[in-house]
Amino acid sequence: MARLHLFDLEGTLLYGTAAPVEISRQLGLEREIAELERDFVAGHIDSGQYAVRVHALWEGLTDTHVTAAFDGAPWLAGIRETWDAIRSNGDYCAVVSLSPSFFVERLLAWGAHAAHGSLFPDVPFTEPVNPTGVLTAAAKVEIANRLCEEFGVRTADCVAYGDSLSDLDLFAAMPVSVAVNADPRLVDLATHTYVGRDLWKAYELVRIPVIEALDEGGLLNSE
């Protein structure tokens, strides 16, 4: 059976940072985004309120800023190689993140089968953000279930990769999980734990080589 690998973005594929932080850095708004991040992590605002405030903060944001943020971000090594291997095994890989869709969707070019983020208007902004399109921790599970149906994958054959409390619901719903540079509370829920800067090494914790998969399926010695 094919498997679906579900990757968080902030702190998982990005090392020690988040897409809004990298975007804000391009605008010289490090202090402002740090304050907003603290309010969100502390639970003073929810994901919809965060989106409205960050949208207002990014007045003047252009596609050039987003490209610079994406290209200059501290990505884990081996992302494209890992996703190439997943594809070669006949499996699927997807990114599900609370970050803006216009940033997350750029990972489709790196080999993700799907990339879902909070729905923001196109850059440069000419309209407000709709809070109903902003993802939550629970929405990650809903998207995972939709992707399983779309790809014909059982929930029992899913692997979740994450780092923070926004991944708690997803880890609780998936049978196999990998905590990547993660909050201790997420580590307690995880099947595996990885600390480092190479996604391939995290993937190796759950990788099933093609030859092994064929053997488990009884295909190697079939007549």
Q: Are 97 and 116 in contact (CB under 8 A)?
A: yes
pLDDT value at 211 more than 80: no
**Which sign does the torsion angle of CA 13, 16, 20, 22 carry?**
negative
Inform me whether the pLDDT recorded for 209 exceeds 90.
no
pLDDT in tens, 170-208: 999 999 999 999 999 999 999 999 999 999 999 999 997
pTM of the model: 0.91
**Can you tell me which residue has the tokens 């609370």?**
98
Q: What is the pLDDT of residues 91-143, one digit of tens each?
A: 999 999 999 999 999 999 999 999 999 999 999 999 999 999 999 999 999 99
pLDDT of the residue at 93: 98
Taken in order of first residue, the domains within the chain and their CATH numbers are 4-15+75-204 (3.40.50.1000)
The stretch 4-23 carries a mean pLDDT of: 97
